[in-house]
Amino acid sequence: MSESSSLDHVDQSVEIAKAGEIPSHVAIIMDGNGRWAQNRDLPRIEGHRRGVSTVRMVSEVATELGIDTITLYCLSSENWKRPQAELDFLMHLLEQYLVEERKSIMDQGLRLQVIGRRDRLPEKVLSQMNQTISMSAENSGTRLVLAIDYGGRDEITSAVRTIANKVNLGELEAESIDEACVNQHLYTADFPEVDLMIRTGGDMRVSNFLLWQISYAEFWMTDKCWPEFAKQDFLSAIQDFSTRQRRFGGLEVNE
């Protein structure tokens, strides 16, 4: 297929995706950066570097399709077990992204948000993070959420702790605690629920990501590693989502 034919095919796929049901919230586990690099005899950090281009592509397609929220699993709470040199590079790459992508974020009208703990992040990363979040806060486009030092169990535990404190202080009646109450104490309180969960890299697990929020999410997995996840792959996931019958525990009328 020629380059022009390939581009025409992608453009057609965009139109097809737009014609179907578009998920409000897409969550992505960006797995396989290190393996992609190692398979090419490159340093693991090169995989992380290449993965930034995929982040840019996904945000651009999300904007084009009108997706409300994209949440990207950038660094899990368990990732601190990795070698210090790799962690240092990831922090440098994150800081660089927050600075260098500001123009793109503003041009696309993205609303940058971050979920996860912040107490273990370097001050210079936090400074750039806060600046980029602040400057994009009034944008009206896709909400681009970076999950950094994030763990689903930790998020739920933190919410339960906050709710318990409110009960102890008399600010909340125990009998009034329901799913909506728990949801309002999560990082994602004002986000739509996850409609589509994508995982790259070939593994078939959720890896402690958005455990509460993915209760009725549709899953789409690929063996492709994150640096090689292309626009057509993302569009294929969206198109596949539009064909799914989502019953939410119920039945179709004719079943």
* pLDDT tens across the length of the chain (255 residues): 555 555 455 566 667 666 678 999 999 999 999 999 999 999 999 999 999 999 999 999 999 999 999 999 999 999 999 999 999 999 999 999 999 999 999 999 999 999 999 999 999 999 999 999 999 999 999 999 999 999 999 999 999 999 999 999 999 999 999 999 999 999 999 999 999 999 999 999 999 999 999 999 999 999 999 999 999 999 999 999 999 987 766 656 555
Inside any domain, residue 254: no
Inside any domain, residue 171: no
Inside any domain, residue 252: no
Q: How far apart are the C-alpha atoms of 48 and 44, rounded to whole Å?
A: 7
Question: What is the span of the domain harbouring residue 85?
Answer: 22-153+193-243
CATH for 209: 3.40.1180.10
Inside any domain, residue 68: yes
Give the count of domains, the chain.
Answer: 1
The catalytic residues are 31, 79
Inside any domain, residue 29: yes
Inside any domain, residue 253: no
Q: Enumerate the β-bridge partners of residue 113.
A: 145
Inside any domain, residue 1: no
